[in-house]
Structure formats: structure tokens, C-alpha cells
Structure 1
Amino acid sequence: MKINMLKPSVDRGPWFRMETDEAGTSAEVYIYDVIDSFWGVNAADFVRELQALDVDTINLRVNSPGGSVYDGVAIMNALRRHPANIIATVDGLAASAASFIIQAADEVVMGKNTELMIHDASAICWGNAKDMADTAQILDRISGTIAGIYAERAGGTADEWRDAMLAETWYTAEEAVTAGLADRVDTDDEADPDATNRFDLSIFAHAGRRNAPAPAVNTSHERRPGLSLSNGSPLAAAAHMVAKTIPTPPAEPKDNTTPLEKGPDAMSEAVTKGLRERLGIPAAANLDDTGLLSALDEALAEQEVTPTVTAAAAPGTVVLDAAQYEDLVASAADGRTARQQQLADNRAALVNAAVEDGRIAPARREHWVNALAADPGMSETLAGLEKGLVPLAAAGYVGGVNESTDEDKLYSKFYPGKEG
């Protein structure tokens, strides 16, 4: 799987879509193009829509040449966490990152005439000998983790799968089942035999199964029932590739229990009820807090009495005078403002840390701050970026580009003339 993305051969729009049936019990999820955060829809959008699916069954349909390994890992983990029963069906091609995304499904089905391909992670590096050595270590670690995922699901050892990845191994539908990468071939649903021709596969060593040697399949492999998220498993390792480089955000404050500590929302309901009871205002009367206070002032002026808390107050009712109530409302508003500012500061700190240790480029700072504000779960995706992949200082000629993402640097191999 390339660490960078593969450019689509034509503009086909977003590479995924999700459709729920009329009964609302199942959904069709399609991944039909390159997997990346640059050319198409990013993994954060995919995961957000996936999490919103409240269904029992998800039919995941795949026809993709792969793309970004980090987007692929994020999608794979999101599928593994979803409570629905997931059936992944390869409709044409599941290559590179797409080949390990489908391993998160409860069942993997190969359509007739479909293909699957696995290979070692690759990239291009510009720099000195240390830069080259660092990039080699990154690629070796990523490839080892992915090999472990294949072994965890299909059987065999990670070393065996790493050898197959280094050889760039292509499988027919039947060969994928024999190797343990899929459960069965759906002979009733015949796929398009030219599906792989819809993508530019020239960057691979073999452009499709017809141009590749027969895979060395270990028939002793036994496919296992699902991936594990337990500590030490390859899937857990993929989910936490660089989690240790992300600072831990402050814990959310514990919920308070007493009415006075809960703030103006719960207190306002109690005060409103108490005022209406004491002033004889029917529940149907549409009065806001200001109107209720005005009615109280009129009643006090007529009776010339000082309001007191009486023993007749309903159990659980707290009665406050106007000054106390207004003070509580103002304090709660200040608290909300302070909390919002605290969350914004935490998001900025996470993004600044990622810029400072070279996980993202400074030009992407605002993008990540907005992404974290829209979806706090994006912190997992940010955690998936490798520390030091973005140079903190210019080193050598960079083609006029001073800032780039990790994926831009590593995938420039495929688009040497594209800026940004």
C-alpha cells in the first residue's frame, strides 16, 4: 500500500457513498475509487457517515486500487468498531490499502472474476542519507504491521505475508479464498472482468493478475473469525501507530448532582414552577423569566410583604430571590464561555504539537483545528500521522514547495509535477 494516494484516472467524484434500505435495518456502503485525503473525500468524512449508520447489517462493496495507508487504517478501525454485522464484497479490485480494509469485515466475499493484491508500503524520499534511513524505518514498520493484520485474519505468520507483500502478490477470486484473505467466491454475482482496467495500475510492478506470476499460496492457512482490538494485536498496533506522540487532553469534568451545582437550565425549571404556584399563574400562560419576575414584583407591591421560603414549598423545589436567580444565570453563561474557550485552546494545542513535531505542515493548521471542532474523533486520525514526516526546516530543493504534508512528500513519486 502506497503511503501516498493514487491519482484517479478520471474524475469520478467522491469515492464512497452510503445508502440505507427502506426498513432502516441495513445499508450499502461503496468504496469505488482511490482512498485518500487529497484527491477525494478524506477518511474523517467516511468515518463520520459510517458512525451515523444505525443498522444491523452493512454491505461494504469495494472496487479500489488502494491509496493512503493512514486513511486506510482509519477506515479499517472504524469498520471494526461498528456494531453492525459487516459483509465486505469485492466487486472489482481490492488492492493495496483496500486489501486490508476488507479484513475488518465479519465476512469477505470475492465476486466472480475479481482480484486482490497485497504489496509492501513504498514512498519516495528527498534528502540526505539520514532522511533515507528514517523513511526506510517508517516503511518497514508500517509494512510489518500490515503483514501482521493479514496473518491475524488469514493465518500463517507475519513473515510469510511480508514475503508475499515484497513480491507484490496478485490473487484471483479463488486464489484469495485459498490464501485465507477471503471467505468465499460469490458465483451468483459476476463482476466486471475489466474492472481493474478502470484504474491506472502502471505504478505497480504487475498491472493486474494477468500480468503477474501465480501467487505462492500456503494451503495450510486457516482463516480466523475476525480481527482483535486487544493489546498487542496487529490491528491494535495499527490503530495506535503514533498515539504516544499525541498529548493527552484534559479529562472532562465530572457531572454534578445537586440542583444548585447543575447550572441555570435545571434551576430555571424549578424556579419557574415555584413562582407560578405562588403567584397563581396557570401553566398555559406564556410568560418568560422576565414576565414572571414582573408578576412577582406586582404581587409584592400589592401585598406589601417580603417574600420568604415557606414550609409549604413542594419537595425538591428551591426558591430564590430575583438577585440570586440572575446571578446564577450570569455565572452559568460565564462558565459556558470559559468551557468553550478551554476546548478551543485544547484543540489548538493538539494541532500546534503536531506542527512542532513534524506530523503536519503549518499550512494545514487551520484545516486540522476546524476538523477537530467538527469531530473530536479526528484526534485519532491526527494520532495516525507519523512524527517527523514533515520537515521542520527546508532541506535541499523542494520544487518551490516550502510546506507539505507527510503524504504529499511521500507520494510525490507519482505526481512529480503537481504543486501542493
Structure 2
Amino acid sequence: MADLSDRLIAELVDAVRAQLRREIVERLRDVYLIGDIEKDTARQAIERLRDLANDNNRPITLYINSAGGNVTDGLAIHDAVRHIVSRGIEVTIIVQGMAYSMGSIVLQAASDGRRLAFPHSWIMIHEPAKWAGWQSTTAAAQHLERLKQMQDQIYKILSVRSGKPLRQIIKDTKRTDFYLDAQNALEYGLIDAVVAGELPAPKPSVVELREVSSEPAPQTQVPAMAPAAKAPVDS
């Protein structure tokens, strides 16, 4: 009888802890993109982003730790984030570990100034043909037109967000997988800041009246971040 009682108490404690974790995640408005980018992870991320955006206009934070994955699924997440940003909702994207291949493209969807990375994170970009999932040149040739369109889309995203000319992006991604640590990614223009302390405070936003609380707003400390810098562009 005592064993049954102990087990029930343990199960109740686990259930309460799980509920508290869910409530904390909801309150923090965080989204996690962990692992390969494919249909299920994209669906889960997009649904979570959509639910948060429809709930209120407070900022959203997306954490990435991904080696990449499917091109179309990655672009679907990118477009979902850009749509939310276009509605005036600030979206911060933080690399916590790695953002390789398609993960680096999702990263570019963040609001202006909100592409962040922790100091020991890595980012990798490469030629879009390597992301398509085709295992032979014959298969790739059968989808040549689609591949060209994907390349143009990816190169444009990287060029616009990094400030690098298209020819520079193409040159750097065609030669090999192009790896950058957080500081080099900052200098290249793929992120806006390296997070060295607390996260930057979000910009002030209009909050729905039903969310206004009588409690005083928490004080936000100014974070220590590496200064933005631009690498010289080859002519």
C-alpha cells in the first residue's frame, strides 16, 4: 500500500512539473528548432509560431540548433517568420549550437537587429544544390529549373540580410561548405550580435489591454554584446 501511495505521489509530482514547464514555455513565448529540418519539425515550429502570433503582439524568440535539412521545409519556416515580422511582431532568432545549411537561412528571417548567436555557436552556408536531397547528378539534372529557382531564392536571402553582393555569396558557397564561428558570422553579416550576457531587450510593443498588469514592469539590464562589424568585400 505504501509503495502504491509513493508511486502515485511521484506521478503527481511529475505531472505538476510537466505542467509548470509548459506554462513557463508559454509565458516566455519561446520556440525551439532542434535537429533536422523536415516536414514534422517544420510543421511543429510553424504551428507554434502561428499560435503565439495570434495570441498577442509580444515578441517571440526562436532558438536554433540544427544541421539543416529539407529546402522547402526550411523556406516554409523562413516565410512563416517573415510573415509574423511583417505584422509588426518582433521575432528574435538565436543560434544555440549550430545553424548549418537550411538552418542558416531560417536564421535570416529574424527581425532587423535580432539575429543572434551564443559565443560558441557555428554557422555554415553552402551551395543550395547540396541541400536538395538528390543523390546523383542525374536526379539533380531532372530538377534543374527548380534547383535554379531555389538557388536564386537562397542567394538573394543571404545577400540581402548579410549586405554582401550576390557574387560574393556565390563565390563563398560554391568553393566548399563555408563554416563561420559566431564572431566571423558577425563580421560576415549573417548575425547582428554575439550574445555575451543577457539577451538584448526587445523593442517596446503595443500589448493588448487584456494583458496589462498592475504589477510594475521588470527592469532590463543592458547586455554585453560584441560590436557589429563588416568584413571587406572582394571586388
Note whether the superposition's TM-score is higher than 0.5: yes
User: Per-residue displacement from partner, 1:98-146 (whole Å, max 9, x unpaired)?
Assistant: 101011111111101110000112243569x6x5533344333312210
User: Per-residue displacement from partner, 1:41-100 (whole Å, max 9, x unpaired)?
Assistant: 242343222211124111111111010110100001111111421111111100011101
Partner of 2:210: none
Matches within 5 A, 1:190-269: 219-220=231-232
Instruction: Output the TM-score relative to the length of structure 2.
Output: 0.65
Does the CA-based 8 Å contact 2:122-2:180 persist in structure 1?
yes
Does the CA-based 8 Å contact 2:31-2:45 persist in structure 1?
no
Instruction: Output the TM-score relative to the length of structure 1.
Output: 0.37
Partner of 1:93: 98
Partner of 1:108: 115
Partner of 1:147: 155
Which one scores higher on RCO, CA 8 angstroms, separation ≥ 6? 2
Q: Percent identity?
A: 26
Q: Does 1:182 align with 2:173?
A: no
Structure 2 counterpart SS, 1:101 = helix
The Cα shift of 1:29 comes to 0.8
Over 3 Å counting, the alpha-carbon distance change for 1:140 and 1:86 in structure 2 is: same
The Cα shift of 1:19 comes to 2.2
Partner of 1:162: 170
Partner of 2:77: 75
The Cα shift of 1:157 comes to 1.6
State the alpha-carbon separation in 2 of the partners of residues 126 and 220 from structure 1.
36
Partner of 2:134: 124
Q: Does 1:20 align with 2:26?
A: yes
State the alpha-carbon separation in 2 of the partners of residues 218 and 93 from structure 1.
21
Structure 1 counterpart SS, 2:143 = helix
State the alpha-carbon separation in 2 of the partners of residues 177 and 19 from structure 1.
28
State the alpha-carbon separation in 2 of the partners of residues 97 and 132 from structure 1.
18
User: Per-residue displacement from partner, 1:139-178 (whole Å, max 9, x unpaired)?
Assistant: 3331221011011111122221122121221001000000
Instruction: Give the counterpart letter for 1:67 in structure 2.
Output: G
Over 3 Å counting, the alpha-carbon distance change for 1:218 and 1:186 in structure 2 is: closer
The structure where helix makes up a greater share of residues is 2
Matches within 5 A, 1:320-339: none
Does the CA-based 8 Å contact 2:33-2:41 persist in structure 1?
no
Partner of 2:216: none
Matches within 5 A, 1:382-393: none
State the alpha-carbon separation in 1 of the partners of residues 49 and 124 from structure 2.
25
State the alpha-carbon separation in 1 of the partners of residues 31 and 135 from structure 2.
35
User: Per-residue displacement from partner, 1:19-50 (whole Å, max 9, x unpaired)?
Assistant: 221xxxx501111111102xxx2423432222
Does the CA-based 8 Å contact 1:112-1:185 persist in structure 2?
yes
Does the CA-based 8 Å contact 1:92-1:115 persist in structure 2?
yes
Does the CA-based 8 Å contact 1:147-1:159 persist in structure 2?
no
Does the CA-based 8 Å contact 2:97-2:120 persist in structure 1?
yes
Structure 2 spans left out of the alignment, 5+ residues: 1-21, 199-228
